[in-house]
Amino acid sequence: MWTIFKIVNLWWLLTSTFAWPMLAVPEMILAIIANLGMLVSLSFQPIKFNLDARTGWVLVAITGLTLWHTWLDGWPNGVTTALQYFPVLYLMQLPYDYLKDLLKFTTKWYAILLIPALILYWIVLFIPLPSMGTFEHDGYPPFINYIFYIKNTFDGFRMERFNAFFLEPGHQAIVSSFLMMANRFDFKKCPWLIVLMIAIIFSLSLAGYLLTLIGFLLLKINSVTKALITLGSVVAIVLGAILWDGGDNTLNEMIIARMEYDKSEGIKGNNRFFNNTDFVFNRTLGTKYFWISTKSHSNMKLIGGAGYKIYILHYGMVSALLALMLYLSVIPSRPNLRYTISFFILIALCFMQRAYPYWYAWLFPYIVGIYMAKDEKDMQKAIESN
């Protein structure tokens, strides 16, 4: 039954991040299936569910989010919100050996699924292949469906970006970067991370690049020498992209140039919002709609983009604070401070440009990572004391 839990865990991580095969099924139904699968499989394991103060605060945060989203959008949305966050409680109960096995399984099979996706991506860059037709989803141009890889038909990119079986390259890059962080960038213990790294590179996602780089710097740089080597490597890559062919190359146009400062937009690559979004968001500042959402006050069809402004306009700052409360409440006592703070910084940075705190692709790596780091710190202390 533990194998069933691992399979459901991987399936829900992919499903919550909009893997295309599940998009035809209502989200509530998928969330019910995920929770039932996890609960039933865990009931056969010798694991006791402990209700302590930390679990209590997590329950308070989930209850608050459920009631708030029910008030905003009705009971179906409230129930779905609860079901999206409930797996947090299951993960918090798992002993170290279970967490370790779960992360290993999830990383391995996610990487295995990426391999045919990457192969198809590279082939169709140059050679048209027979497909399963097209896949369409609201708000996106049609995708050419190769099952493991859905190719975007939008031709506005200099080079096709790798999104695998997700709707956007950024979705794939976030999943990959967070799983790398959960594995602490340990390529020796987990060679499957090489596949994830390749997937991030070909996503051409500025967010994926920065999350991966910042996570690596926060965890791995502990000496001046390492810092200088890393900084020198980054500078060399950036300069190479700017100088190569006068900057007329994919890396410069799709990554480096997006980090330039613009007086009207700020950092170009961080311009995640439509002009109407900025206007409405600025109008809500200092009003009650900043806190409770502006759905009843604005034409939401004019608001678009991604990031924290969208989340606050849709759900209000109250929802953002409740989500923050949950992410802080799950932190175990006596954590590995460096690792926990580093991962929380990544979550916060990701929220700024792509605000999906309810995604299991955020919750799973974050919780498994900080709990494993805490347990390993405790084990190391026990060894040293003996």
Left, alpha or beta for 74 (phi > 0: left; psi -120 to 50: alpha)?
Answer: left
Output the pLDDT for position 34. Answer: 96
Q: Do 230 and 379 fall within a single domain?
A: no
Count of C-beta atoms within a 10 Å radius of residue 46: 5
**Average pLDDT of 58-87?**
96
Q: Do 175 and 235 fall within a single domain?
A: no
- H helices of the chain, in order, are 2-16, 27-42, 53-73, 75-85, 87-92, 96-124, 169-182, 193-203, 206-220, 224-243, 250-251, 275-284, 289-292, 308-329, 337-353, 360-385
* Burial class, 294, CB count within 10 angstroms (exposed 0-12 / middle 13-18 / buried 19+): buried
Q: Which residue has the higher pLDDT, 176 or 207?
A: 176
Q: Do 158 and 205 fall within a single domain?
A: yes
Q: Do 201 and 161 fall within a single domain?
A: yes
Closest to 50 in 3D by CA, of 84, 5, 95, 82? 95
Q: Do 263 and 379 fall within a single domain?
A: no
Complete DSSP assignment for 283-350: HHTTSTHHHH-STTTS-GGG--B-SHHHHHHHHHHHHHHHHHHHHHHTPPSS--HHHHHHHHHHHHHH
Would you say residue 227 has pLDDT above 90? no
User: How confident is residue 266, by pLDDT bands cut at 50, 70 and 90?
Assistant: very low
**Average pLDDT of 7-23?**
95
Q: Which of 271, 304, 330 is the last residue of a domain?
A: 271
Q: Which residue has the higher pLDDT, 345 or 245?
A: 345
Closest to 368 in 3D by CA, of 94, 35, 65? 94
Would you say residue 242 has pLDDT above 50? yes
When mean pLDDT is compared across 200-214, 226-240, 350-364, the lowest value belongs to 226-240
Output the pLDDT for position 51. Answer: 81
Q: Which of 209, 243, 271 is the last residue of a domain?
A: 271
Q: Do 260 and 333 fall within a single domain?
A: no
* pLDDT, tens digit, 9 for 90 and up, residues 124-163: 988 889 999 999 988 888 999 999 999 988 765 556 889 9
Which pTM was predicted? 0.89
Would you say residue 261 has pLDDT above 50? no
Q: Do 211 and 258 fall within a single domain?
A: no
The answer to whether the CB of 288 falls within 8 A of the CB of 317 is: no
* Burial class, 38, CB count within 10 angstroms (exposed 0-12 / middle 13-18 / buried 19+): buried
Closest to 284 in 3D by CA, of 276, 272, 266? 276
Percent of the chain with pLDDT over 90: 60
Please provide the distance, in angstroms rounded to a whole number, between the alpha carbons at the two ends of the chain.
36
Q: Which residue has the higher pLDDT, 262 or 101?
A: 101
Write out the residue range of the structural domain in which residue 56 sits. Answer: 2-220+272-385
* pLDDT, tens digit, 9 for 90 and up, residues 95-108: 999 999 999 999 99
Q: Do 92 and 215 fall within a single domain?
A: yes
Q: Do 295 and 188 fall within a single domain?
A: yes
Would you say residue 231 has pLDDT above 80? no
Alpha-carbon torsion 71, 76, 82, 84, what sign? Answer: negative
When mean pLDDT is compared across 71-75, 100-104, 195-199, the lowest value belongs to 71-75
Count of C-beta atoms within a 10 Å radius of residue 155: 7
Q: Which of 238, 271, 304 is the last residue of a domain?
A: 271
The answer to whether the CB of 307 falls within 8 A of the CB of 280 is: no
d(CA 294, CA 316): 7
Would you say residue 40 has pLDDT above 90? yes
Coil, strand or helix at 230: helix
Output the pLDDT for position 223. Answer: 61
Count of C-beta atoms within a 10 Å radius of residue 281: 20
When mean pLDDT is compared across 122-131, 172-181, 281-290, the lowest value belongs to 281-290
* Mean pLDDT computed over every residue of the chain: 86
Q: Do 249 and 205 fall within a single domain?
A: no
Q: What is the DSSP letter of 49?
A: P
Total domain count for the chain? 2
Q: Do 292 and 331 fall within a single domain?
A: yes
Output the pLDDT for position 379. Answer: 87
Q: Do 373 and 262 fall within a single domain?
A: no
Q: Which residue has the higher pLDDT, 20 or 306?
A: 20
The answer to whether the CB of 216 falls within 8 A of the CB of 208 is: no
